[in-house]
Every structure is written in C-alpha cells, then in structure tokens.
Amino acid sequence: MARARKRLAGAAGPGEPDPAAERRSLSAAHSPLRMGKALDKKGPEGKRTKTKNECEASAKVENSGLQETSEASEDCGKNLSRYWLMKSEPESRLEKGVDVKFSIEDLKAQPKQTTCWDGVRNYQARNFLRAMKLEEDAFFYHSNCRKPGIAGLMKIVKEAYPDHTQFEKNSPHYDPSSKEDNPKWSMVDVQFVRMMKRFIPLAELKTHHQAHRATGGPLKNMVLFTRQRLSVQPLTREEFDFILSLEEKEPS
C-alpha cells in the first residue's frame, strides 16, 4: 500500500513478541492467521512483502503444521513450489493515523505492479513469508471489507528481507523491540500477475470448505478456515488448483 494498509499479521499489540512466543509459534505449526498487506511505500517499494528462505528452513517451519508433511518433504527436494494466500484490506482504515488500505487495484498501480508486503507482525505469518521462494504464486485476498474474497493472483519477486517499517517510529507497524542488527520482521516483494477471471467470495470458499469436510474434497483443510486471523498462509497445490477451477464456474 502505498500507504497502506495492510493488515498485519499479528494480533498482538504493541509489540514484540518474545522468544518464547516465537518458539511456540513455530512449533505450533502452523497456522495461518491473518494478515494484511501493507502499505506502501516509503521506500522503493511499498507494500508488503515476503521473504525468502530456503528449502530447508522453510520446509521445516511450515510444515509443521499446516501442510502435510509428506508434501513438504517432497518440496524440499524438488518441486518446491508452494502456493500462498495473502490478505490485505481494500478499504480505508486508520491505524495510528495512517490509512492501511491496499487493494489489488493499488498493487496494479504500483511501479512495475510490484510492492513490498510490509507490516506482518505475527510469527507464523512471518515464517511463511520467510519460506516463500521466487516465482511462487499467491492469491491476493481482500479482507475486512464489504466483499471479502480472492481478487487476483500475484507472484513472489523478492524473497524475504527485513521489513523496514519495524524501525520507523511513524509507521503503524513500528516495533521498538526490534534491533537493526537483528531484525525481527521480514517482508517479501510481490508483483501483480492478473485479476481472477471472477472475484471468488469468501462465502463461496466457505461453502466448498464445509462440503469438502464431509466429502474429503480439496478445501477440507484450507487454512483460511482452520486458522483464523493468519494474514499470510500456505495453500496446497490441490487447494490452489481447485480455487482456480472456480473461476470457470458460475458463482454458487
């Protein structure tokens, strides 16, 4: 966002999590929570970002929970492709006097249609950012708005690096506990790929999720529903492909 808004990820407030909390989150495995996107710019880029990590690290972190391990281990070796869902608020909302709004239209309007995904302040979400690799696909999800749902597709164009907003006192995402020589929070850069052929509303995803819980369908464990509030979350390939297939169908 250019100013963005993002939602951040974490829930907690002021700030800074302690190591124990971090450990807990990591081990917990997963869950996604929420997130938001960010904003804007200040620097070269503006919005939120993601991170980078390697296979090993990422596989460990992530897998722990959310996805299946088997899948994860596979990834590590070869096809490491993973898919993501990242939340951002498309409607204006002030956070410490700063508008965190950042919609997919805002992303499209950025230079090179690229932004840094800043403002994530939740350990699980941060760890997912760190697990992201170049060229991976992510859904751009509109949250906390009149029409929540998946608006489009973007891809990771820069792996995780320190989120500069954690050091900026004026940022709504300033974290006084984070030190320059040991940054706590990360972001990645994302680039717009395309709008969904049709907007996929949260309600529709939920309907499928509920049906799939009974039938064993692809959305049965979708993190969007199993871990509320996670702003950066992983999707399996099956989840990703199923959601893309919804584009061709009539709204349900």
Partner DNA sequence: GCCAACGTTGGC
Interface residues with DNA (CB under 7 A) are: 7-18, 21, 24-25, 31, 33-36, 87, 95, 121-124, 143-145, 148, 202-203, 206, 227-231
**Could you tell me if 228 and 28 are in contact, meaning their C-beta atoms sit under 8 angstroms apart?**
no
The Cα–Cα gap between 133 and 155 comes to 9
- To which H or E segment does residue 56 belong? helix 55-63
- Give least dist CB 112 to DNA, A: 26
Choose between 25 and 110: whose C-beta lies nearer to DNA.
25
- CB-neighbour burial class of residue 57 (10 A; exposed 0-12, middle 13-18, buried 19+): middle
- Give least dist CB 95 to DNA, A: 7
Choose between 53 and 122: whose C-beta lies nearer to DNA.
122
- Give least dist CB 108 to DNA, A: 21
Choose between 40 and 75: whose C-beta lies nearer to DNA.
40
Choose between 7 and 75: whose C-beta lies nearer to DNA.
7
Choose between 22 and 137: whose C-beta lies nearer to DNA.
22
- Give least dist CB 228 to DNA, A: 4
**Could you tell me if 183 and 174 are in contact, meaning their C-beta atoms sit under 8 angstroms apart?**
no
The Cα–Cα gap between 80 and 132 comes to 10
Residue 41's closest CA among 114, 94, 108?
A: 114
Beta bridge partners of 150: 141, 200
- Give least dist CB 160 to DNA, A: 17
CA geometry: angle 16, 228, 231, nearest 5 deg: 55
- To which H or E segment does residue 153 belong? strand 149-162
- Give least dist CB 201 to DNA, A: 8
Choose between 81 and 170: whose C-beta lies nearer to DNA.
170
